[in-house]
Amino acid sequence: MSANDEDRPQKKPASHEIGCDISLLSADELTARVALLEKEIDRLKAERTAKAAGRLAAESLFKK
């Protein structure tokens, strides 16, 4: 690693660990994390909906 590499700011990960220290994040970084988490929430809700629909389909099939 050269001296120039040490002067460069470290890249923040494109993820968020629940409970991590956020006190050093800028407002823009916090906004980006919120957007990332909102996308993940949408993904989780979509998967939950798909699984619920599959369960309902299976229940209706076996009730006959």
Q: Enter the pTM of the model.
A: 0.64
- Secondary structure class of 48 (helix, strand, coil): helix
pLDDT (tens digit, 9 = 90+) per residue, 4-62?
666 666 666 578 889 999 999 999 999 999 999 999 999 999 999 999 998 888 888 88
Label residue 3 by pLDDT band (50, 70, 90): low
pLDDT at position 14 is: 74
Q: How far apart are CA 35 and CA 37, in angstroms?
A: 5
Query: DSSP readout, 24-42?
Result: T--HHHHHHHHHHHHHHHH
Q: How far apart are CA 54 and CA 63, in angstroms?
A: 14
